[in-house]
Amino acid sequence: MKTRLEHDSLGEIQVPADAYYGVQTLRAIVNFKDISGITISDHPYYVKALAMVKWAAAHANVSLGTLDEEIGNAIKKACEEIMEGALVDQFPVDLIQGGAGTSTNMNINEVVANRALEIMGHNKGEYQYCHPNDHVNLSQSTNDAYPTSFKLCFILHNEDLVRELKRLVKAFRAKGKEFDGIIKMGRTQLQDAVPMTLGQEFEAFAVTLEEEVSRLNEMARLFLEVNMGATAIGTGINTEPGYAQACVDALRVISGKPFVLAGNLVEATPDAGATVMYSSALKRLAVKLSKICNDLRLLSSGPRCGLNEINLPPMQPGSSIMPGKVNPVIPEVVNQICFRVIGNDLTVTFAAEAGQLQLNVMEPVIVHAIISSVRMLLRGMTRLRVLCVDGITANEGHCKELVLGSIGIVTALNPVLGYENSAKIAKRALKENRSVYDLVLEEGLLSKDELDELLRPENMIAPHKMPHKKNL
């Protein structure tokens, strides 16, 4: 393998000749190899965000006269190519790394520098013409470029997540309409409660998830405040007056996102509060999604000895020993995704708390946790929608039988019979294993017409004019 000799403050290293990354990236590859097994290259949005930040910095530096225009234009051209998908494989550094993200920042600095060198007609590694630190990283520190880039990455990922969440909401809402006329028993504490429609149940799934669209977007907007120009600790050392605002203005244009400069860069540099809030929103979505999957598993349980009110699409044989068994594998995998997301939120919480003085060095694990959560939720919701929700069918007849045989329908008789009489009927029905309907008629408490009117589905699933209580 052909190599080129590069050096840093620790010494010289042979770097693969065709690599766009350099010596510092190579050290990071060795130091953090397979820590998580997930590299920057595995996340194209992250690579794109890194390139956008470097483009914005170069633009600001050229406009202020601190960066040679030819070098600056080459840097911007290299960044544009990376933003369009080029050189994604040149980011082999593990997401979890020591050094507060320095390895990630140097990875993008080296790749951009070497591509810029080619654009200017030079060879990779000829850093006297375009240097990763002196030119690409000009007016920057890892401590402002790194958090700005991952905030932009989170925003891009959130857009995809919200888009898929809306699709899932639509799928549940469609099932709500399809099942609108199907009467079933509602349950509280896993016990028979009062009737409802299967449509109401699925519409409730849609509504509870729909609430998370605005919540996720609200929390993602916190990432629009960035600390570019802070450099090392927020004082802006090694920057020209006006650089910070010029850089943020350029980033706003190149990204299309309404970024704003933080009001206090010393405060903003170590602060991870936005990641805590967004991770919490992901956890909230995961909690709701897991609850829904629990319900789908319960509603489809059986088929003979469970609730069996709905049928989930059969995806695979469910047992190596029990012939014919089919398990709810899609809701099960989504449950497990949600558990991971909840755990990732705890990781973000601990990492955000671990900041010390003017920097939080634990940001890499925050990046890993949030990106992991978003991507798992995105993929999980897609599979839940396509492989499960869209194909759910209802066992309408069975649902109706359960309602008619339920003791819970006695609640609908309370306004006429009173609580005490209704309770007596319920106890007798349970003891004798008979229906509430038959016992009410047997004891002459109501006529058949009166009873049928009270037990009409539309009178049990929504508010309606109450009949007068009978004197019994």
CATH code of the domain containing 57? 1.10.275.10
pLDDT in tens, 247-276: 999 999 999 999 999 999 999 999 999 999
Answer yes or no: do 20 and 158 share one domain.
Answer: no
Residue 183's φ and ψ, nearest 5 degrees, are -80, 140
**Residue in 249, 245, 240 with CA at minimum distance from that of residue 265:** 245
How crowded is residue 458: how many other Cβ atoms within 10 Å of its Cβ?
10
**Residue in 452, 222, 216, 429 with CA at minimum distance from that of residue 341:** 216
Specify whether the CB–CB gap between 189 and 89 falls below 8 A: no
Domains held by the chain: number: 3
What pLDDT, on a 0 to 100 scale, did the predictor assign at position 438? 83
State both tokens at 439: 């016992």
- Structure letter (DSSP) for residue 434: -
Answer yes or no: do 211 and 292 share one domain.
Answer: yes
- Structure letter (DSSP) for residue 465: P
Tokens 């995806």, located at residue? 315
- Please indicate, yes or no, if residue 72 is contained in any of the structural domains: yes
Q: Which of 396, 419, 434 is the endpoint of a domain?
A: 396
What pLDDT, on a 0 to 100 scale, did the predictor assign at position 397? 94
Answer yes or no: do 369 and 264 share one domain.
Answer: yes
What pLDDT, on a 0 to 100 scale, did the predictor assign at position 301? 94
Predicted confidence band at 470 (pLDDT cuts at 50, 70, 90)?
low
70 pLDDT more than 70 = yes
Answer yes or no: do 273 and 315 share one domain.
Answer: yes
231 pLDDT more than 90 = yes
Which domain covers residue 85, as residue numbers? Answer: 3-138
Helix (H, G, I), strand (E, B) or coil at 8: strand
- Segment 5-18 mean pLDDT: 91
- Segment 99-117 mean pLDDT: 96
70 against 460, higher pLDDT: 70
Residue 61's φ and ψ, nearest 5 degrees, are -65, -40
Helix (H, G, I), strand (E, B) or coil at 355: coil
Active site residue 214: no
pLDDT in tens, 232-250: 999 999 999 999 999 999 9
Answer yes or no: do 264 and 384 share one domain.
Answer: yes
Answer yes or no: do 52 and 103 share one domain.
Answer: yes
- Segment 309-314 mean pLDDT: 92
Predicted confidence band at 433 (pLDDT cuts at 50, 70, 90)?
confident
- Please indicate, yes or no, if residue 164 is contained in any of the structural domains: yes
**Residue in 220, 218, 209 with CA at minimum distance from that of residue 288:** 209
Q: Is residue 437 within a helix (H) or strand (E), and if so which, with residue range?
A: helix 436-442
What pLDDT, on a 0 to 100 scale, did the predictor assign at position 463? 75
- Segment 351-371 mean pLDDT: 94
Q: Which of 85, 111, 138 is the endpoint of a domain?
A: 138
- Please indicate, yes or no, if residue 187 is contained in any of the structural domains: yes
What pLDDT, on a 0 to 100 scale, did the predictor assign at position 471? 59
Residue 50's φ and ψ, nearest 5 degrees, are -60, -45
- Segment 201-212 mean pLDDT: 98
What pLDDT, on a 0 to 100 scale, did the predictor assign at position 198? 96
Answer yes or no: do 433 and 413 share one domain.
Answer: yes
460 pLDDT more than 80 = no
Query: What percent of the chain lies above the pLDDT cut of 90?
Result: 75
pTM (whole model) above 0.85:
yes
21 pLDDT more than 90 = yes
- Please indicate, yes or no, if residue 231 is contained in any of the structural domains: no
Q: Please state, rounded to an integer, the average pLDDT across all residues of the chain.
A: 92
Answer yes or no: do 129 and 52 share one domain.
Answer: yes
318 pLDDT more than 70 = no
- Please indicate, yes or no, if residue 122 is contained in any of the structural domains: yes
pLDDT in tens, 372-382: 999 999 999 99
- Please indicate, yes or no, if residue 242 is contained in any of the structural domains: no
Specify whether the CB–CB gap between 6 and 22 falls below 8 A: yes
Tokens 């309408």, located at residue? 396
- Residue 200 to residue 293: CA distance in whole angstroms: 16
What pLDDT, on a 0 to 100 scale, did the predictor assign at position 468? 60
What pLDDT, on a 0 to 100 scale, did the predictor assign at position 472? 57
What pLDDT, on a 0 to 100 scale, did the predictor assign at position 8? 87
CATH number at residue 200: 1.20.200.10
Catalytic residue among 9, 319, 372, 373: 319
What pLDDT, on a 0 to 100 scale, did the predictor assign at position 327? 83
What pLDDT, on a 0 to 100 scale, did the predictor assign at position 287? 98
Predicted confidence band at 125 (pLDDT cuts at 50, 70, 90)?
very high
What pLDDT, on a 0 to 100 scale, did the predictor assign at position 467? 63
327 against 288, higher pLDDT: 288
Answer yes or no: do 171 and 99 share one domain.
Answer: no
Q: Which of 138, 159, 185 is the endpoint of a domain?
A: 138
CATH number at residue 441: 1.10.40.30
- Please indicate, yes or no, if residue 232 is contained in any of the structural domains: no
Please name the amino acid found at residue 37. G
Answer yes or no: do 205 and 344 share one domain.
Answer: yes
Answer yes or no: do 270 and 370 share one domain.
Answer: yes
- Segment 323-329 mean pLDDT: 78
What pLDDT, on a 0 to 100 scale, did the predictor assign at position 380? 98
- Please indicate, yes or no, if residue 132 is contained in any of the structural domains: yes
Enumerate residues 6+ apart whose C-beta is below 8 A from 318: 325, 326, 327, 329
348 against 315, higher pLDDT: 348
Q: Say what the alpha-carbon torsion angle 198, 201, 202, 206 is, to the nearest 10 degrees.
A: 160
- Residue 238 to residue 284: CA distance in whole angstroms: 42
Answer yes or no: do 291 and 212 share one domain.
Answer: yes
